[in-house]
Amino acid sequence: MDHTKQQRGEGQGPAVPTPSDLLTTTEAAILGLVGGGELSGYDLSRSVETGIGMFWSPAQSGIYAVLPRLVEKGYATARTVVQERRPDKQVYRITDAGRDALRRWIEAGPPEPDPAYNPFLLRVYFGAETSPGVVAGHVEARRREAEERIALLRELKPALGDVGTPASEQYRGFVLDWGLEYYEAVVRWADATLAGLSELDG
Amino acid sequence: MDHTKQQRGEGQGPAVPTPSDLLTTTEAAILGLVGGGELSGYDLSRSVETGIGMFWSPAQSGIYAVLPRLVEKGYATARTVVQERRPDKQVYRITDAGRDALRRWIEAGPPEPDPAYNPFLLRVYFGAETSPGVVAGHVEARRREAEERIALLRELKPALGDVGTPASEQYRGFVLDWGLEYYEAVVRWADATLAGLSELDG
DNA sequence: TGAATCATGTAAACAGTTACATGATTGG
DNA sequence: CCAATCATGTAACTGTTTACATGATTCA
């Protein structure tokens, strides 16, 4: 198959030869968010949590490392906002060159399939090394998690995708729909797998 | 979700604090494969391609780096096999301590949700920066890929999961079923998204 | 002849992570 | 009083990747 690597919590990430002038995934994510309006590093770490966090969540320190790099490359500009009751902050705005770079990154497309980095599945794959109950525990946890996500996504959905909404909202709707499709698949699979595991157990 | 990295041009992977005595994902993957019988580094890189490659595929150099480390930790033993028509090779066998470490890794479970590292979705999310046609192209590529995977998985399926097969085969069946569920979800989502995109286009 | 397979490894780079540091202000 | 929020950044590390090197043998 193919892949790529990455991970989280477990995973690690691959080192891929970024075509040099192409953005890093983190750079693209941040640039994309900054493209929606002036944001500070702090704002960004919060949007990540509540927005694209589902499929990309750079570390806070990573965000602060990337921002000056974007300025240096001419993809964003920084402006200091003086505050009285809060620490001063830098807010960033995307430039035309930045928008261009972002567009190029989007168009470059995923070279290959799916990263599919998935330590969880690896654990299931080698499940015979432990007891069915242990694997069932993991699967149940996954199922619970999926249900939570589904509930969350259903809450977010009405806010998006209505007719007449801006295109950017439509795209967010597509991603949200993917989340629903994905987590519903998780639930179905978990149920079937739990049934299979209980047979192994008895 | 979560993520991981790779690319090929794109993903990268995270760096997670391995609880020190716990195995790395790559170590676990290799140890698990070696647990199925004596294997050389070369054998491993081939099993990765055809087996667990769907959700974990270490680089060849990574495999050769990990193997001596496993021996050093006492999780595997190495034996030189002298060959006439082929270069001599080292074959590795899992030890009891290795089996133990593998079991602990499996039981430790995924600390957090899903890696969900997914640059592809990030591209869709920021799709408004380019034209609907470009995004549609990416989605179509994803759909095609999913169809190919489904065909492949359906071919592999009959070989596994029959009644009376060893437990390890059952677990492989669970993983295979996940693949089917997942790629079928991709196809459904792609169809819906392509429909949505064509509306944006017109 | 030359490409593919078998077989192993080194070196350098990379994207991203954790842990830590600092400090004012708000709210319970 | 103390925890949480706002706000930014440095340092050290990690797991993994690409690129490269080497060489015999099989197969078209």
The per-residue pLDDT for range A14-55, each reduced to its tens digit, is 444 445 578 999 999 999 999 999 999 999 999 887 788 888
Chain A residues 168-197 with a CB less than 8 Å from chain B: 168, 170-175, 177-179, 181-182, 184-185, 188-189, 192-193, 196-197
**Within a 13 Å sphere around the CA of B117, how many CA atoms are in the beta-carbon half?**
35
**pLDDT cut 70: percent of chain A above it:** 84
Alpha helix (H) residue ranges in chain A: 25-34, 41-50, 60-72, 96-108, 119-125, 132-156, 167-201
Tell me the pLDDT tens digit for each residue of A130-156. 999 999 999 999 999 999 999 989 988
**Residue B186, pLDDT above cutoff 60:** yes
pLDDT tens-place string over residues A47-84: 887 788 888 889 999 999 999 999 999 999 999 999 98
Q: Which nucleotides of D are covered by protein (CB under 7 A)?
A: 6-11, 13-20, 23-26
Distance between A43 CA and the closest CA of chain B, angstroms: 18
Q: Flag whether pLDDT at A3 surpasses 80.
A: no
Does nucleic acid strand C have an atom less than 7 angstroms from the CB of A116?
no
The shortest C-alpha distance from A38 to chain B (Å) reads 16
Confidence of residue B113 (pLDDT cuts 50, 70, 90): low
CB atoms A111 and B9 under 8 Å: yes
pTM across the whole model = 0.88
Radius of gyration of chain B (CA): 20
Mark yes or no for CB contact A119/B110 under 8 Å. Answer: yes
Residue B79: is its pLDDT beyond 80? yes
Residues of A (100-119) whose Cβ lies below 8 Å from B: 102-103, 105-119
Alpha helices, DSSP H, located in chain B? 25-34, 41-50, 60-72, 96-108, 119-125, 132-156, 167-201
Residues 113-172 of B with CB under 8 A from A: 113-130, 134-135, 137-138, 141-142, 145, 149, 166-168, 170-172
CA separation for the pair A157, A154 (Å, rounded): 5
Measured CA to C1', what is the nucleotide nearest B89?
A: C7
Distance separating alpha carbons of residues A77 and A70, to the nearest angstrom: 8
* Of the listed ranges A9-23, A174-188, B51-65, B68-82, the one predicted with least confidence: A9-23
State yes or no: pLDDT of B202 exceeds 70: no
Q: Which of residues 88-107 of A touch strand D (CB under 7 A)?
A: 89-90
